[in-house]
């Protein structure tokens, strides 16, 4: 498949206008929907491979998995099908670059930026975990960063597959070898969410240091190091990191899955603790006469919501805040104004009760949802960091740090 695909129209609807990326069995194009003029990304399987049953099953599996996953950090699918033996998947167009692009062109990242990306990857994997989906190929090439610095996980072609990629295909496997978990590389051992989290940790290691944890001349060399070699000290390679970073990596990159973080949320919680140390800076508390650091009261958490569609940040500063849609004619000016017709004028309450935040639906027509669950009107629900709220069709993330 080559440049002559440009200008081709698939299913009489999707016009290919540019090539975005090319892989071993599919090419991703930028496409325009002739029905509504919207821009999409469309993944087209190479025509010469369409009779390969195994590759075709992998391609179709990716479409089915994406249809059942809904999360701000996972690329959305809108359509898929077959046009004259040309198999395609229509997805969200992401205006941005892959994480690999930033790593290659900018080198080691600021720690807080690296944590920001790693957390978002883990949040996407949390949604997959809840649906029983294992990605199996987390690597910088499969992580897109949009223009608002939001992570989008893509390429679920290997998700939930039973067969490990053979190590004899070194030219194909090399990119994945840097990030693969030991159990995934070993024959007869299945991957689960802990395998994906191992891969996230290797990506985080590379974001912080500029190099993946293990290097080698061949894919086999690298995989054997994942299985046998001691976990490198990230603090030795990056001395500005807090000493707590090494224990985090030791757990995240443990050889045995049973010794790692069990769930994405557990990974996120541990990462947040490291982030808090970095945010406080290098200063140490003053010790008392006996050399023991006196305890300090925990600083009050600063809470906010982030509108996921546009990245707008809204601080939560009052004890009681109305979420709704402004209507000057009726004299309605909610503290948190969301300009969307699906949002009621007085849609919900957000409360701050001594640092504990809650949400209450005000019997809005289009309802309030918390992590996908529709709330019962006038019933308060406690919020925790990372919760996803939906007011009508406006989705926001609650953060308290």
pLDDT in tens, the chain (401 residues): 445 788 899 999 999 998 887 777 788 999 999 998 999 999 998 888 777 777 787 787 777 777 878 888 999 888 888 888 889 999 989 888 899 999 988 889 999 999 999 999 999 999 989 888 888 889 999 999 988 899 999 887 665 533 334 333 433 444 489 999 998 888 545 688 999 999 999 999 999 999 999 998 888 899 999 999 999 999 999 989 999 999 999 999 999 999 999 999 999 999 999 999 998 875 444 333 334 344 444 445 679 998 988 888 899 988 889 999 998 888 888 999 999 999 999 999 999 988 889 999 999 999 999 998 999 998 889 999 888 999 999 999 998 87
Residue 175 contacts by C-beta under 8 Å, 6 or more apart in sequence?
139, 141
Strands (DSSP E) found in 241-366: 303-307, 313-315, 320-324, 336-337, 348-353, 356-361
- Residue carrying the six token digits 């140490």: 284
CATH for 96-159+171-280 is: 1.10.510.10
The predicted model scores a pTM of: 0.66
First to last CA, the chain: 49
Q: Which CATH architecture has domain 8-92?
A: 2-Layer Sandwich (3.30)
The domain segmentation of the chain, as residue ranges, is 8-92, 96-159+171-280, 303-400
- Where would I find the H helices in 131-169? none
Instruction: Determine the topology of domain 303-400 in CATH.
Output: Tumour Suppressor Smad4 (2.60.200)
Residues forming the active site: 137
């Amino acid at each position: 498949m080559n440049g002559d695909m440009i200008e081709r129209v698939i299913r009489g609807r999707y016009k290919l206008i540019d090539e975005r990326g090319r892989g071993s069995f599919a090419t991703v194009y930028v496409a325009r929907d002739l029905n509504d003029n919207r821009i999409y990304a469309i993944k087209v399987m190479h025509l010469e491979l369409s009779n390969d049953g195994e590759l075709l099953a992998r391609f179709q599996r990716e479409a089915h998995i994406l249809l059942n996953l809904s999360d701000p950090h996972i690329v959305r699918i809108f359509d898929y099908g077959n046009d004259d033996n040309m198999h395609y998947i229509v997805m969200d167009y992401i205006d941005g670059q892959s994480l690999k692009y930033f790593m290659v062109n900018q080198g080691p990242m600021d720690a807080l930026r690296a944590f920001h990306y790693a957390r978002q990857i883990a949040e996407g994997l949390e949604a997959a975990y809840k649906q029983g989906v294992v990605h199996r190929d987390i690597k910088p090439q499969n992580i897109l960063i949009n223009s608002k610095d939001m992570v989008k996980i893509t390429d679920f072609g290997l998700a939930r597959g039973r067969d490990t990629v053979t190590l004899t295909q070194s030219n194909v496997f090399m990119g994945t070898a840097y990030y693969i978990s030991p159990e995934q590389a070993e024959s007869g051992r299945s991957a689960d969410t802990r395998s994906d989290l191992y891969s996230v940790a290797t990506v985080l290691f590379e974001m912080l240091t500029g190099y993946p944890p293990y290097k080698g001349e061949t894919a086999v060399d690298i995989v054997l190091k994942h299985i046998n070699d001691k976990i490198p000290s990230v603090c030795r390679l990056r001395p500005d990191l807090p000493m707590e970073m090494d224990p985090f990596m030791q757990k995240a990159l443990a050889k045995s899955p049973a010794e790692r973080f069990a769930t994405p949320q557990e990974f996120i919680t541990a990462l947040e603790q490291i982030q808090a140390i970095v945010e406080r800076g290098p200063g140490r508390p003053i010790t008392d006469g006996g050399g023991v650091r006196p305890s300090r009261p925990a600083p009050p958490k600063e809470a906010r919501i982030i509108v996921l569609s546009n990245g707008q940040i809204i601080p939560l500063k009052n004890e009681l805040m109305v979420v709704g849609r402004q209507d000057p004619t009726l004299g309605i000016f909610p503290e948190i104004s969301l300009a969307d017709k699906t949002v009621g004028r007085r849609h919900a309450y957000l409360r701050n009760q001594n640092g504990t935040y809650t949400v209450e639906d005000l019997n809005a027509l289009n309802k309030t949802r918390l992590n996908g669950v529709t709330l019962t009107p006038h019933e308060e629900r406690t919020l925790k960091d990372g919760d996803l709220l939906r007011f009508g069709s406006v989705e926001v993330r609650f953060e308290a740090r």
